[in-house]
Amino acid sequence: MAKSPALPKAHRASGRPRLDSRPVVAGIVTALVGFTSSFAVVLAGLRAVGADPAQAASGLLALTLAVGLGVLWLSWRSKVPVTLAWSTPGAALLATSGLADGGWPAAVGAFLATGILIAMTGLVPALGRLMARIPATLAQAMLAGVLLQLCLAPFTALGTVPLFVAPVILCWLLMMKYAPRWSVPAALLVALVVIAASLATGGASPGKAGILPALVWTAPTFTLEAMAGIALPLFVVTMASQNVPGVAVLRSFDYHTPWRAAMLVTGAGTVLSAPFGAHAINLAALSAALAAGEEAGPDRSRRWVAGFTSGIAYLVLAAFSAALVTLATAAPPGMLEAVAGLALLGTLAGSVSAALSDPGDRMAPAVTFLMAASGLAFFGIGSAFWALAAGLLVRRLLRPRGTTAARGTAAQG
């Protein structure tokens, strides 16, 4: 009589296979890293376009809820470890855009328009093809120029509040060496401790966002300046720096992204949450690897649980959004921007590298980068729009004749 196969040691005690907890842990880590590493960028961006502390807290809450609910739906329906995030590059864009004509309500209108454009890329394939015609080098150069001012904040703050910022930078640097994934969350924790110490010694006063999370409705208004200066650049940056890389990350782990469903869910989520201050949600890029990779367990068919768990974790984190905003708004001037700048240094380095990756086409990206970094505005429209327009014009003028045709012929061959 043949012997029955022996069970692994870990399974013998119960007589049945033990459930693997790694997808659950990976999902929780995904949400924690995604939230803590960039919420300071979101707050800086929303405040820059006119939100008061209560409206900024509402925006963070709406984003967190939209991300959590969207992930739950997509991962459950597709059984793929799809993860979502808010548009961190988009928030950085807002931080350098300044007030649009019409103030905060106009910014909310631009957020709503961005959501419609994202949803339309899922419904209208031609819009996706039009987006693909924007050279990736120019999109990355525009993003790098937008990020530059915010990434300078940690170092300029050393000249104004050195005792507050130096421990944060030192913590970030040490963690970058020994645990890079947790460098920004650790720096944020140090910043919160510093702020709390400042409050305890009477050096700062708490903000007015409150402790309990609350959604604050803002009726959107629509202005040409906000559409051109916020909505269009926000859409381009979100697609080029979040959605497209998000698809690539999942593909690198042999997963097929449910593109149309993802665009409809993130677009609709942005539209529904925009009146509460949410700027944009999208496919996760860097944090997507945490839920789709080996850290989520050896069974690839079960890694969707990591995505689903991250959605639950985001809904739990939403409960702390208002308290975090209250504490963050009590920070010394420049402190919040310094943490945001540290969070974006890696993105800046990657964007500069990608923008200048083609040795034969560096002048147009350089012009795009400098125009975006200049902060120049015409007719109330911010520099991001003009940077992209200038880059396209320079690229068109300097590109040798026949290049496009030659590439098309080569592609067909």
Say which DSSP state 378 is in: B
CA distances from 243 to 88, 111, 147, 263, 358 (A): 12, 17, 18, 9, 22
Sign, CA dihedral 240-55-67-183, equals positive
* Residue 403: predicted pLDDT: 52
Residue 381, helix vs strand vs coil: strand
* Residue 70: predicted pLDDT: 96
Token match 């400098």: residue? 370
Residue 131, helix vs strand vs coil: helix
- State the chain's maximal CA–CA distance in angstroms: 87
* Residue 189: predicted pLDDT: 85
10-residue mean pLDDT profile of the chain (413 residues): values are 44 51 86 84 91 92 96 94 92 84 93 96 81 79 83 86 87 90 84 80 58 88 91 90 84 88 96 96 84 84 92 92 79 77 83 86 91 76 79 86 44 36
CB 194 within 8 A of CB 217: no
* Residue 8: predicted pLDDT: 45
CB 102 within 8 A of CB 221: yes
Token match 């505005």: residue? 377
As separate numbers, helices (DSSP H) first and strands (DSSP E) second, the chain gives: 21, 2
* Residue 4: predicted pLDDT: 42
* Residue 407: predicted pLDDT: 41
Distance CA 153, CA 338 (A): 5
Say which DSSP state 51 is in: -
DSSP 270-327: HHHHGGGT---EEE-STTHHHHHSGGG-S-GGGTHHHHHHHHHHHHHHGGGHHHHHHH
* Residue 160: predicted pLDDT: 82
Residue 84, helix vs strand vs coil: strand
Residue 380, helix vs strand vs coil: coil
Listed by start position, the domains of the chain span 21-214+222-404
Give residue 166's Cα distance to chain centre: 25
